[in-house]
A and B are shown apart, each in its own frame.
Chain A
Amino acid sequence: MKRLLDSLKNIVGPDAMITAASELMVYECDGFTIEKNRPDVVVFPTTTEQVSRIVDACNYFKVPFLPRGAGTSLAGGCLPVGGGVVISLARMKKIFDVDYRNRCALIEAGVINLWLTNHLKPHGYHFAPDPSSQGACTIGGNVATNSGGPHTLKYGVTVNHVMGVEFVMPDGEIIHTGGPVEDNPGYDLTGVIVGSEGTFGVAVKSWVRITRNPDTYRTLLGVFNSVDDATNTISEIIGAGIVPAALEMLDQMILGALEDAFHFGFPLDAGAILIMEVDGLEAGIDTEAERITSIAVKNGAREVRKADTEAKRTLLWKARKQAFGAVGRLASSFCTQDGVVPRSKLPHILREIQKIGAKYDLKICNVFHAGDGNIHPILLFDERYPDQVKRVLEASGEILDECIRVGGSVTGEHGIGVEKIDFMAKLFSPDDIAMMIRLRNAFNPTNNCSPQKMLPTAGACIEASKAGRMAAM
């Protein structure tokens, strides 16, 4: 290890690496805190060439490595299983080239999602994927996990907005896929790299598509007495062929925490609220908003409020996007799940979540991307009590099993990471997983890059609970 550390010091310099145990603690997990493992070293390269040399050194000394952005992911994607080298891309934060005429930009992996949108704002553009963590998460992390966000209902997820990458392969070679021009011939390598959770290599720079800002918005707040009424509304809006820019649901428990934190004026006695936003041209937008309002009223909304000033809209979205932060008011620990169901199955899955919460004696609140059918039940617990951790894991498993049973998936935007490896065999057949392993081997044959992530390894089927150190067990 000492020789590796010397090599890394030569590459990035002593000020760009961390080896002290107290500092490494920050890097022992991401937003999924149930499992932890400390890396041996964290390095902070500033160029693609440095990343390539770091990878060469890791390979030479046969030490595993994995890339990391801001560590906001929620499934253990940047958990350093087996230790090794964490390559933090946090210092690669240049926005190189924004080409407004061709609607694309070249940026480094460490650029914070919201910085890019703020950079583009004066020119009337934005970067469409807007995960709730957009104030902290990096574009490199968005690329690795194929991030979503509230507005992906209309605008698509990260992969729909990435045109190419500069990429360090697990053998240290630097390659470019795609680029600023659409339709280059050959396989869509960019398309499979996005969402590969760092298991194919290190995406160092990305060509991303930039999107014109809509002229206007109508942001509505539907207030419902019951979760059922809210979910039926969602189902009917989508069924009516309306594609809102966002359609988000919050239940009563989360509303209380949000109101304490943001003082928006949420109705605390409501069973659920829906944030329903349409955007686009001024022409016709009121008609669309009225159609949505009448569907909500028909389905039992007791009122539909308008966030009719920019300040109100901004506060509403701030409250929504920082909802997870407000959960701290409800419990000392929480586990956010990320299931997906066909949109017409939302009423069913929310009823099931309620039942599962009662069965395991856990409080579960809900705030999620309802328009996509992407649920985020938040299971509240105290990680100091092993029994609670156990119940949280079992309840999470039951919720996700039910998502699979009704034709959905166990992750809409957080990824498999280490948390959900066991679910891969429930979603996919051994033949399906074998093809995924073959694809990974094309990029990462030694599996030295982000080992034991995403796919159960043949012959050594990893169990999520063994991946790292359990926080409370």
Chain B
Amino acid sequence: MPLSESLNLNSFQTKTPSDVAEACDIIRHSASTLDAIVPSGSGSKMHIGYSPSRNGVILCTKNLNKLVDYPARDMTVTVQAGILVKDLTEMLNKENQRLPIDDPYPGESSLGGLLATNTSGPRRFGWGTLRDYVIGISILNDEGRETKAGGRVVKNVAGYDFCKLHTGAFGTLGIISQVTLKVRPNPEASSMVLLSLNSANVESVLDRVHTTKTRPVAVELLNRNALQQPLFKNLDLSSDYCLFVGFEHGAEAVKWQTETLAPELSDVPGKIDIIHGPSDSAIWRNLGMFQSTRIPGSPLTFKANIPSSKVASWCALASDTLPGLSLQSHAGSGIVFGHLPGDVSRQMAFDAITLLLQKAVRYQGNLVIPYCLEDWKSDFPVWGQVRPDIKIMRKVKESLDPKAMFNPGRFVDHI
């Protein structure tokens, strides 16, 4: 999406440094003029969050995209953060390795962007999220200096864990310039078991999948509207919901799990399908992409985080509130993405989001809005309900970015 369509960035000049030194110069200059710095990798997620609270420059890291070190036998890789995830994936694949994090914008995302937004997908249930893979990080700080934390070894507790702090910090604490990641071997095999479900059965089936003898790496629940989207249309599914249970392990383990899960659930009314194929096949990719899909006319996409045990009832409430809603849940992890239908009014959307947010908060979770029409952001809870630990977050922000240069106003509570 062009930047000008997403945020109010028309007056921002884009600077694309060719190396770290040049990027540091840009930061130092902005520090002297008190310009804001809006970090950008490939630009695929620039629609997320509020518009910056003051003018400045977009610092694009796309040319900071070099491979620094890939000792494949140590199963670590160090790269500059502007590298495209697809290029990193290709490189790792040559050594039969991977970063098992789903990229909802295949071909577009930069690693730094993926990291700053803490993006994840279906595999998070089995393989975790980016915070589990970043072992070293370099940050261009508010003084225009490259600083580092962590290292290049897989186990390391020397110093504070800035890797965790910057993962998901939305670029508000500095520019991620370089990252060292743990990587994993490619799985030998993968499969996906698909189970068509009636609304009434969702909760009990999710409970049973939770205690299955198998060890899924993905448990995805999609509602009927989601199944009608182009990503899934060829599956020809028209039930209330479909559950996708994914396995990625050695060949024998995948075969056994596929053959075990289907009989475990054979008493559930509904069709069972099995899709065999590599872990980069279309079904995995499409499940990963649903969150970034733009349904024509849809004014808003939300992401709720709730307990896994509440996914069925929360999705039922959401569907009842807005019948045209397209829903996908990473059900094992309690994450639900929803695209609102095109015909919903601003007021209807606001009321529905308010209700669903309250319900999520009651479950100790939250609901954020990764995408909505720009003029809705003024009154919609873009970053959900502010929690009391915002006080500490503000102290961290003030300490690491005292001039509020990095992405000012864009993140939680306009931090």
Contacts and interface: CB of A to CB of B under 8 A. Distances in A.
A428 B222 CA distance: 47
A190 B165 CA distance: 9
Given A283-B255, A442-B400, A101 B141 contact: no
A185 B157 contact: no
Contacts of B154: 340, 343, 372-373
A145 B151 CA distance: 17
Interface string B248-266: 0111110111000000000
Contact of A340 (B155, B213, B393): B155
Listed residue (A102, A103, A243, A343) with the most chain B CB atoms within 10 angstroms of its CB:
A102
Nearest to A214: B215
B160 A288 contact: no
Interface string B158-199: 111111110111000100000000001110000000000000
Given A156-B132, A243-B185, A187 B169 contact: yes
Interface string B86-112: 000000000011000000000000000
Interface stretch (B29-37, B235-243, B342-350, B358-366): B358-366
A426 to B, nearest CB: 10
Contact of A181 (B215, B306, B395): B306
Contacts of B149: 428, 432, 435-436
Nearest to B213: A215
Nearest to B75: A238
A152 B185 CA distance: 17
B253 A283 contact: yes
Nearest to A183: B305
Contacts of A282: 256
Given A159-B164, A373-B153, A428-B159, A443 B392 contact: yes
Nearest to A215: B213
B105 to A, nearest CB: 18
B309 interface: yes
Interface in A174-195: 175-177, 179-192, 194-195
Contacts of B173: 187
B158 A181 contact: no
Contacts of B387: 176, 184, 186
B185 A413 contact: no
A185 B256 contact: no
Contacts of A423: 158
A408 B151 contact: yes
Interface string A351-377: 000000000000000000100111000
Interface stretch (A6-14, A85-93, A414-422): A414-422
Nearest to B184: A243
B377 interface: no
B157 A439 contact: no
B240 to A, nearest CB: 22
Interface string B381-413: 001100111111101101110000000000110
Contacts of A415: 157
Contacts, number: 258
B43 interface: no
A429 B131 CA distance: 24
Contacts of B215: 212, 280-281
A183 B251 contact: no
Given A175-B391, A183-B305, A443-B395, A344 B74 contact: yes
Contacts of A152: 155
A241 interface: yes
Contacts of B155: 148, 152, 157, 340, 369, 372-374, 409, 412-413
Contacts of B132: 156, 160
Given A184-B366, A431-B145, A284 B306 contact: no
A412 B129 CA distance: 21
A249 to B, nearest CB: 15
A295 interface: no
Contacts of A239: 72-73
Interface size class on chain B is: 35 or more
Listed residue (A184, A343, A369, A431) with the most chain B CB atoms within 10 angstroms of its CB:
A184
Interface string A331-347: 00000000011111000
B22 interface: no
A441 B399 contact: yes
A235 interface: yes
Interface in B121-164: 128-129, 131-132, 139, 141, 145-149, 151-164
A261 interface: no
A420 B158 contact: yes
A339 to B, nearest CB: 9
A241 B97 contact: yes
Contacts of B153: 340-342, 372-373, 407-409, 412
B159 A436 contact: yes
A442 B147 CA distance: 18
Listed residue (A281, A372, A431, A443) with the most chain B CB atoms within 10 angstroms of its CB:
A281
Contacts of B392: 169, 175, 177, 189, 442-443
A443 B411 CA distance: 20
Contact of B412 (A185, A194, A436): A185
A440 interface: yes
Contacts of A343: 73-75, 154
Contacts of B168: 187-188
Interface in A358-413: 369, 372-374, 407-413
Contacts of B306: 181
B149 to A, nearest CB: 7
A281 B256 contact: yes
Contacts of A410: 158
Given A183-B335, A241-B185, A344-B71, A435 B400 contact: yes
Interface in A426-464: 427-429, 431-436, 438-443, 454-455
Contacts of A309: none
B389 A442 contact: no
A99 B161 CA distance: 28
Given A342-B152, A344-B71, A344-B74, A241 B186 contact: yes
Given A242-B185, A373-B153, A442-B400, A342 B76 contact: yes
A22 interface: no
A138 interface: no
B273 interface: no
Nearest to A169: B392
Interface string B187-224: 00000000000000000000100100111000000000
B278 interface: no
B307 interface: yes
A182 B368 CA distance: 13
Contacts of B252: 283-284, 287
B375 to A, nearest CB: 22
Contact of A102 (B256, B334, B399): B334
A181 B364 contact: yes
B206 to A, nearest CB: 10
Contacts of B80: none
7 A-B pairs closest in CB distance: A191-B164, A241-B185, A283-B256, A284-B252, A239-B73, A442-B399, A412-B155
12 contacts: A101-B207, A181-B363, A182-B305, A184-B387, A187-B396, A196-B160, A340-B154, A412-B156, A416-B157, A424-B158, A432-B159, A441-B399
Interface of B: 71-76, 96-97, 118, 128-129, 131-132, 139, 141, 145-149, 151-165, 167-169, 173, 184-186, 207, 210, 213-215, 249-253, 255-257, 303, 305-309, 333-335, 363-366, 368, 383-384, 387-393, 395-396, 398-400, 411-412
Given A188-B118, A195-B161, A283-B255, 5 more contacts: A102-B309, A183-B305, A186-B389, A281-B257, A343-B74
